[in-house]
């Protein structure tokens, strides 16, 4: 992968090393990568083949090119050079939207998702974010349970996303 990598944490029992990437290759910007992460577009494993038009539509509907400082952050969990998870946040003043949370099925239940959330929360605090929020679907029961265990509380809808049926927020302590 291009750029400089810094280890900023790991999942339970050493599974999955959490990395932050600086696509420009300069490590100086990553002195504290948990708080100042910048990334390239990660290549994540797929559970089924995806058509090119599906990828184009997803990138249009769910952009992530703004998940770099100063507008956001995207952290990638890697094990042996393979991406096994990610989580990002879009900075919107003193609020941030949690997005792109994914853990490979082979790594679920290892604590990696919680480690990713903690690292995103640290990056948000560094940016002066007071509230982290997200929308999701109840069908993603394991994800909802992770958010609730991590201190997120269900709230009234704050957007009109047609695919969301649950909204959460967490007040971040300084």
CATH of the domain at 31: 3.40.630.30
Q: Answer yes or no: are the C-beta atoms of 103 and 109 closer than 8 Å.
A: no
Q: What is the pLDDT of the chain when averaged over all its residues?
A: 74
Count the domains in the chain.
1
Task: Give tens-digit pLDDT for 4-23.
Answer: 343 433 333 333 334 444 33
Rounded distance, CA 102 to CA 86, Å? Answer: 5
Which residues have CB under 8 Å from 93's CB, separation 6+? none
What is the phi-psi region of residue 20: left when phi exceeds 0, alpha when psi lies from -120 to 50, beta otherwise?
Answer: beta
Given a cut of 80, whether residue 46 has pLDDT beyond it is no
Rounded distance, CA 7 to CA 34, Å? Answer: 9
Given a cut of 50, whether residue 59 has pLDDT beyond it is yes
pTM greater than 0.85:
no
Report DSSP letters for the chain, one per residue. Answer: --SEEEEEEE-GGG-SEEEEEETT--GGGGTTTTTS-B--------SS---HHHHHHHHHHS--TT-STTTEEEEEEEETTEEEEEEEEEEETTEEEEEEEEE-TTTTTTTHHHHHHHHHHHHHHHTT--EEEEEE-TT-HHHHHHHHHTT-EE----S--TT--EEEEEEPP-
Task: Give tens-digit pLDDT for 117-127.
Answer: 999 999 999 99
Rounded distance, CA 111 to CA 12, Å? Answer: 5
Rounded distance, CA 154 to CA 161, Å? Answer: 16
Q: 75: domain range?
A: 4-171
Q: Of 152 and 174, which is predicted with more confidence? A: 152
CA dihedral 30, 89, 152, 103 (to 10 degrees): -80
């Amino acid at each position: 992968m291009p750029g400089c990598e810094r280890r900023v944490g790991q999942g339970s029992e050493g599974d999955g090393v959490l990395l932050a990437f600086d696509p420009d290759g300069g490590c100086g910007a990553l002195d504290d990568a948990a708080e100042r992460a910048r990334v390239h577009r990660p290549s994540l494993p797929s559970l089924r083949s995806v058509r090119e038009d599906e990828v184009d539509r997803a990138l249009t509907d769910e952009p992530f090119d703004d998940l770099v400082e100063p507008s956001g952050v995207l952290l990638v969990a890697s094990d042996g050079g393979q991406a096994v998870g990610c989580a990002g946040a879009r900075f919107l003043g003193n609020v941030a939207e949690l997005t792109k949370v994914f853990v490979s099925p082979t790594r679920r239940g290892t604590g990696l998702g919680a480690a990713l959330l903690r690292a995103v929360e640290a990056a948000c605090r560094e940016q002066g974010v007071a509230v982290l929020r997200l929308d999701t679907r109840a069908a993603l029961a394991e994800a909802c349970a992770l958010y609730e265990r991590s201190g997120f509380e269900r709230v009234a809808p704050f957007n009109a996303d047609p695919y969301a049926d649950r909204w959460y927020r967490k007040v971040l302590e300084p």
